Structure formats: C-alpha cells, structure tokens
Amino acid sequence: MSRVARGLRGGASEAYCDRMLCKHAPVGLLVALVLLPVSGASALDANALLASSAKMNAPAGWSDRSSILVIESFIEDDKVRERRVEVKESLGEDLKVSSLSEFLGPADVLGLRILDIWAADDAGDAWVWAPATRRFQRIATGQSDDAPAYGNEPSYRDAQLLDLLPRMAQDVEATVVDEETVDGEDLVVIDVDVGDREWPFGQHFRVWISTDDAAIEKIEARKSGGAVSRRVIVRTYGDVDGRKTPLHVSVENPASKRSTTFVRSDVKHDQGLPERTFSLRDLSKGR
C-alpha cells in the first residue's frame, strides 16, 4: 500500500465524502479510491486528502479565532524587525476571511490597526488606521504587503492560506504529483489550482501534506510560469482545543529574499466575535 493510501485510510476519504456527492457512491468504489497507488492517483484522491486536513486539524469547524502574534521580519538570515500583534479572525461558511490586527509594539507601530477582508473568490480589501491621525486609509487591492508595519514583506494573509485552502477542497482542481520523506516524515505532494480567483499570490499552489495526520507542512504559491511567489512553512504545531494548530509559521518571498515568521500564542476559538469587529466603524475606534 502506498503512503497516499495510508494517508487516505486515516480519514481523508471520509472527510471528502462528508462534503461531496461521493458519500452516496458504492462502497467498492470508495475502497478502490483509497487504495489507488500514486502512479494512478486521480484528482479525487488529492481533494480527499485536502479535505481530510480540514477535518482533522485546525481549519475544521472554527468560525472565529483570536491570538497573540510575535512577527519577526528577515532579509535573508538577518532579523530586521520584530512586532507584537493581537489578531482577531473570522472564517465564514462562504470562505470569507476577515482579520483585525492591532499592533502592541514596538512604540513606532503601537496602536496601529489593519483590517483585511478577502474571500476564496475575491481579492478583497484592506485598510490601515493610525492612532496619530485617527483616520483609516484603504490599501490598494493586492497590495496588503505594502501596508505600514508590514513593509515590503510577506503579510499575515499569506499564512492564512493554511486555513483557507483545506476548506476549499470541493471547489478546486487538485492532483497528487509526488511523495517525499522529510526528516523521517512521509508527505504527499499535491498541486492545487483555484481557477480564476483573483488572489494576489496567484492561482496555482503546491501543497505538502503529512500522511500520518493530514497536517499541511508546506504551501508554495506559484506563478503561471512555475516561479514560487510565496512559500509557507509550518515550523511547529500544537494542540489547541483538540485541534492541531500551526503555532510557528514562516512565510518566504524568494524574489525579495525577505521572510516573516508568525509565532502564535494565547489562541482562543469560537468566542462569538460580533460581525462589527471587522467593520470600518470599529476599526477607527482603536483601544
């Protein structure tokens, strides 16, 4: 049995069928799908594994989340900046991602707030509010990386791919392309095409998923020619409310040789954050 089959046997086919019409398929067909070797793997196998990642790990179930982030910025191997941020997030059934980030330090960004709203089928919008002017300013669509306090570096939106892509399992074209073993861990490599969606980091992704627990270990956003525009790597997972949650994530921009790490703590799920949390009216209130 291939490592893909072992990964699917761990729950991927069940997760996929929970959300797809294949839940009505004959048992023999589902068994055949689970046991397909890599050389004969179809797009259905890859979608099943992606859906399993959503069901078995952090992306499953939560509608809102809050946490404290320590954000470290690097140029090549040199750390150039560190910030501390409180982030509140919402991920709706319509796959709309909303996040409100309030900077807690250092002093030059203290009180700065960024509201970022985007969706699976929409590049979205972002706004920044500065305590010095007590006004908010819209950040041009697709240019959230140029927001104050982020600068020309990967933003938190890149890290949110870990939560969004698995939830899109039924809406994307996914294909198993390889198997790899990294540090003793067996991984399945799948290519994901999100279609014509207007995302700033592209429409084509390569995803590395563990066959042990279906956790995503790495995502590469790729341009049409194959060049990598973003690389998202999970350095550390932790258990939060019974969910395997990425606590240390590194996002790299190979072209600029810049990278950003996000270290997450004090994670809380499903507190019932009101919708107005992610409104321009509340953005301008500050603390």
| 134-185 pLDDT tens trace | 888 888 655 444 444 444 466 888 898 898 888 888 888 999 999 999 988 9
pLDDT the model gives residue 125: 84
For the chain, percent of residues with pLDDT exceeding 90: 42
> Distance between CA atoms of 175 and 167, rounded to whole angstroms?
16
3-state secondary structure labels for all residues of the chain: CCHHHHHHHHHHHHHHHHHCHHHHCCHHHHHHHHCCCHHHCCHHHHHHHHHHHHHHCCCCCCCEEEEEEEEEEEECCEEEEEEEEEEEEEECCCCEEEEEEEEEECHHHCCCEEEEEEECCEEEEEEEEECCCCEEEEECCCCHHHCCCCCCCCCHHHHCHHHHHHHCCCCCEEEEEEEEEECCEEEEEEEEECCCCCCCCCCEEEEEEECCCCCEEEEEEECCCCCEEEEEEEEEEEEECCEEEEEEEEEEECCCCEEEEEEEEEEEECCCCCHHHHCHHHHCCCC
pLDDT the model gives residue 146: 43
Q: Is residue 241 part of a domain?
A: yes
pLDDT, averaged across the chain? 79
| 51-88 pLDDT tens trace | 888 887 765 568 899 999 999 999 999 999 999 999 99
Q: How many domains does the chain have?
A: 1
Q: Is residue 272 part of a domain?
A: no
* Residue numbers of the domain that contains 229: 3-60+162-253
Instruction: Answer with the residue of higher pLDDT: 6 or 116.
Output: 116
Alpha carbon separation from 211 to 19, 175, 176, 248, 250 (Å, rounded): 20, 15, 12, 20, 21
Q: Is residue 221 part of a domain?
A: yes
- Using the predicted structure, report yes or no on whether residue 14 has a pLDDT greater than 70: no
pLDDT the model gives residue 286: 65
Q: Is residue 279 part of a domain?
A: no
Q: Is residue 127 part of a domain?
A: no
Q: Please report where in the chains the tokens 């399945």 appear, as a residue.
A: 188
pLDDT the model gives residue 34: 34
The highest-confidence range among 91-95, 152-156, 189-193, by mean pLDDT, is 189-193
Q: Which amino acid is at 92?
A: G
Give the pTM: 0.81
Instruction: Answer with the residue of higher pLDDT: 234 or 197.
Output: 234
pLDDT the model gives residue 274: 93
Q: Is residue 67 part of a domain?
A: no
Q: Is residue 193 part of a domain?
A: yes
Q: Is residue 177 part of a domain?
A: yes
- Using the predicted structure, report yes or no on whether residue 247 has a pLDDT greater than 80: yes
